[in-house]
Amino acid sequence: MEEIEVKFLNIDPVLIEKKLFELGAKKIFEKLYRRRVFDYPDYRLDKSGAWLRLRDEGEEITLTFKQRLGMKKGGNGNDISTEETGIRVNDFDATVNLLLKLGFVEKHYVENKRIRYMLDDIEFDIDFYPKLEPFIEIEAPSWKKIDEAIKLLNFDPKDKKIFSATQIYAQMGIIVDDYKEITFERIIKK
């Protein structure tokens, strides 16, 4: 399934939250996400712009295959979109062990804090990652709705990013795959 979302980098979370409330958006949650990313030992998923992500969202744990669509040369420009296929699982650690027993290798572990707001059927997620400036991710059921959301927040459409947090890190000179762990408490290189 195509994931229809864009990001805007280096935002002021206080101003964005104020604007969202003025628009009538409702704050849905604020929580810490834990994610472990896996690949085959030969990194064949990575070579095709894909990854397997296990994410603990608090009340829900998901295992998701994600693949960048329309990757630009060099890998850090805007993609066309992302394909996403996932399932719910009920045990984070047991799923890690299962994936490792199946022959996958863990690429890295990353945490982020997310604050979600909803306005009709549009999700606005303010994300905080270690070592990155806050950014907003806008997800909607259609690209037309994304364009509407961009206008509501008075963002310049030319500034939208269609790529992952890993690509944001890369723009900052941080190659996530060089790290075993990136959390708010510590960063551990491989």
Which domains are delineated in the chain? 2-189 (2.40.320.10)
Q: How far apart are CA 58 and CA 32, in angstroms?
A: 7
- Of 69, 135, 169, the closest CA to residue 177 belongs to 169
What is the average per-residue pLDDT within 84-95? 96
Q: How far is CA 113 from the centre of its chain?
A: 11
Burial 143-153 (b: 16+ CB within 10 A, else e): eebbeebbebb
What is the average per-residue pLDDT within 134-141? 97
- Kindly state the percentage of the chain with pLDDT values over 90: 83
Number of H-type helices and E-type strands within the chain: 5, 11
DSSP reduced 3-state for 72: coil
pLDDT band at 76 (very low <50, low <70, confident <90, very high): low
- pTM score over 0.85: yes
